[in-house]
Amino acid sequence: MRALLPFALLLLSACGPYPRDIEGTFESVEKNGVVRVGLTEIAPADERATQNYLARIEAATGAKVRATFGPAERQLAALEAGDLDLVIGEFAEDTPWLDSVAVIEPIASRTVGDRRIGLAPVAANGENRWIGVLEKAVRDMDAAR
């Protein structure tokens, strides 16, 4: 029985919230009560969808959104640096940022020329619990339509 004690302690140490965030974004949002959002240029037709999405994030987390506005590159760099929790902006399906960030399903989309552009939430890679919250908010929006 004593031989199993170290194994049992190892199993207990693995218990906890799953999935996990590498940098603790979800825990930070809960603790601080703020979701730091970087908004890029939002088309007037997409403002309502953006507000609806952010309201769902506030409801899901109990935190208030604190938004900043700026160009996509600057917002994505701030996300990558850990200065933002979420970016919302228009991105093509083949954006070069796909390797660096987690682009969630779009909350709105449109066609520009022969390209499909989506107004999508974006999170830092590895923040799996946080990404799950963001994805659920998109699914809830889709279900409400």
At 97-111, the pLDDT tens digits run: 878 899 999 999 988
At 3-14, the pLDDT tens digits run: 554 444 344 444
Structure confidence at residue 28 as a pLDDT band (50, 70, 90):
very high
Give SS3 for 76. helix
At 111-127, the pLDDT tens digits run: 888 888 999 999 999 99
If you ran DSSP here, which 8-state letter would residue 72 be given? H
Give pTM, 2 decimals.
0.84
- The token pair at 74 is 């600057």
Instruction: Determine the pLDDT at residue 17.
Output: 52
Instruction: Determine the pLDDT at residue 2.
Output: 54
Measured distance CA(36)–CA(24) in Å, rounded: 14
Average pLDDT over residues 22-51: 95
Measured distance CA(22)–CA(25) in Å, rounded: 8
What are the structural domains of the chain? Answer: 24-144 (3.40.190.10)
Beta-bridged to residue 103, according to DSSP, are: 122
Measured distance CA(58)–CA(64) in Å, rounded: 6
Instruction: Determine the pLDDT at residue 108.
Output: 94
At 45-61, the pLDDT tens digits run: 999 999 999 999 999 99
Q: Give percent of the chain above pLDDT 70.
A: 86
Instruction: Determine the pLDDT at residue 95.
Output: 82
